[in-house]
Every structure is written in structure tokens, then in C-alpha cells.
Amino acid sequence: MATLAEMLRQTGYAKDGQLQAPAPTQPNLSTMSADHIRQLPQKFNENQAEQMALLARAFPDDTLKNADTKAMAEMAMQTPFNALTAFHGTPHKILGKFDISKAGTGEGAQAYGHGMYFAESKDLADVYRKKLTNEAGNPVKNPNDSIQLQMGRLEDQIKQLKQSDDPNAGSMIKAYQSRIDEINKAGNLYKVDIPDEYIPKMLNYDMPIKNQPELYELVRSNIKDPDIRKTFEHNAEKGITGANVYQNYIGGKTDADRSANALKIGIKGIRYLDEGSRSAGKGTSNFVVFDPSNVKILEENSKPIARKELIQQQIDKIE
């Protein structure tokens, strides 16, 4: 299922994380949104007429300039545009489904919780693939063996050759580029669909917990000590973020314990701004899913998963 962010990008309303006026040739936002609504599960199709009417109020002339912000907010609450497509770069080949027992090689070695790490940015996920994979397609033991560094060294050689007078520069550049292309085949990049129902239950590391009412209540209701609960309520009002909540109000001696306890109370994972977005305080996010067994693999290295593999995924879920 498409995310609202994807729809805005596809229709030309968003570029590089910023809203903009679409080009005349871009797809129609209302049409794409209407198609999305028609494809929703049955429980949402039951009030499809109401959703279409709401859509018409939200975008009366298919522009953001004249959009009805109240209707847009209402539509966002009622329509699950929050299905999330993300990416996972890894030296491993994933067969059927993600396995939590394989967790342990994400950014900062599980710095944001124990689980499987996914990136909203495809390019960033591909960087992880290159950082974590050696030329043989195995996990790196020495960072100097990563294909990222190997490719970087070759690219530096190409830059030097382009500025040299060596008569053999052209053939050497071609050889180096061929070598880069060969090395770059190591590892795997997966496009995935994180389940719709997980999204509102992902603790936002960077956002005040008071602005995450569902997560706030999950944490608050599971604090048994009345004094600690009172302290939590006070600190939440002062603006503590999801990071503070995860570290201080969810029990566990280890990060794995803490993530398991968070999952038990209904928190499906953590979302946080990726490295390229943190300084700006906005942009694309990374996601830590505590139980990734229901994360559906859509593509492997830009190729759709074969039908037999999709069937196997469904069998794995049943088992």
C-alpha cells in the first residue's frame, strides 16, 4: 500500500521533503487517492462513499493551496495512508521472513533498540548494505573490508586518473569502473512493507511523548508504581521525548529485555530521524521493528519477489 508521502511525491506535490506546486503533467492527486481508497481492506470499503466525500472536501480543486485542512486532518485519521514502505540493506539473503534472532548489525549496533532496522530512504539502506558487506557477500569483520571502502578507494583512483596525462587512463578507468560494478553486487537490498497496524504504535524517539497520545497511554497504564506514574506524567507534560521514555520508563536490564518489554505492552518498535535528517530536525526516518516476522518483503535488489516466494511467506506466517 502506498504511503501518503509516496502519493505526494508521485503526484509532484513533494520533492526532497518539501511541498511544492506539481507540474501539469504529474498524476492527479485526487484520482490517485481515490484509487487508494478503493483498494483498502473491506472494513474501510464499507464507508467508501463517506471517504470519497471527505476526499472531495479535502481537495476541492486538487491543489494544496485551496485544500480544506480540517478535512485533510479528518481523512488522515480515518484513512490508513500510513502503510509504510521501507528498505533494509544487509549482507544476508532473507528467505521468507525476517528473523529477530539475526538482529544485531544495524546502525550503531542496535543503538535505538533491539530489533530489525529499516530505512525510509532507499539510498541510506543501500549505504548500510555496503558498510555491512564484504566482497564475498558475508558480514564484515573488519570495517576496512567493506565494499563501501573498497569502492571508495577505486573511485578515488578514477578521479586521479581523470586528472592525469597517462595515455592508459581511459582503459584503466574502464577497468576500475568494471571492478566497482562487480563489487557492488555483494549483499542484498530489500524493499519491505511494514504492517499498517504497526505504524501508530512505533515510539517516535524524537517527538515529545505528550504528542504521541496512544503511546503515552500504553506506557502510563503499564507503570504500576503510583509515584513513578506521577513522575512520568509530570515529565511528559514538560516535554520528554520518546527516547527518554524508552530509556527510563520501560523496564529491562539489557536493550533486548527493554525492547521485549516494550513489545509486551503494545509498542511495536521505534522510529527516529536518520543521520542525514537529525541536524535539521526533520526529514526521513529509520525504523526498528521489535518483531519483524510480519514485515512483508516486496522486492529483493529491485526485483519483485516471485509469486512462489510470496506464497512461502504466507506459509511461514501460518506456521
SS3 for 14? Answer: strand
Across 167-184, average pLDDT: 95
Closest CA to 36 of 73, 77, 70, 82: 82
For every residue of 162-209, DSSP letters joined together read HTS--TTHHHHHHHHHHHHHHHTTSSEEEEEEE-GGGGGGEEETTSBG
Same domain membership, residue 288 and residue 167: no
Buried residues in 209-244 as b, exposed as e (16+ CB within 10 A): beebeebbebbeebbeeeeebeebeebbeeebbbbb
* Residues 174 and 252 both lie in one domain: no
Q: Give the whole-angstrom CA distance, residue 115 versus residue 99.
A: 9
Q: Which three cell numbers stand for residue 247?
A: 530509556
pLDDT at 4 over 90: no
Q: Give the Cα separation of 66 and 55 in Å (integer).
A: 13
User: Which grid coordinates are listed for 241?
Assistant: 521525548
Any domain includes 71: yes
**Residue 32: pLDDT band with limits 50, 70, 90:** low
Model confidence pLDDT, tens digit, residues 113-145:
899 999 999 999 999 999 999 999 999 999 899
**How many domains are contained in the chain?**
3
* In a shared domain, residues 101 and 237: yes
Q: What is the pTM of this model?
A: 0.69
Give the per-residue pLDDT at 188: 96
Tell me which residue range forms the domain holding 21: 4-78
To the nearest 10°, report the CA torsion of 213, 217, 219, 225.
140
pLDDT greater at residue 203 or residue 20: 203
Please check whether residues 38 and 177 belong to one and the same domain: no
Q: Please check whether residue 115 is in contact with residue 288, taking contact to mean a CB–CB distance below 8 angstroms.
A: yes
Q: Are residues 18 and 123 in the same domain?
A: no
Residue 108 — φ and ψ, nearest 5°?
Answer: 65, 25
Would you say residue 307 lies in a domain? yes
Query: What mean pLDDT is predicted for residues 229-257?
Result: 94
Whether residues 170 and 202 share a domain: the answer is no
The answer to the question of residue 240 being in a domain is yes
Query: Is 9 among the domain residues?
Result: yes
Residue 135 in domain: no
Residues 88, 220, single domain; the answer is yes
* Residue 136 within any structural domain of the chain: no
Residues 121 and 217 in one domain: yes
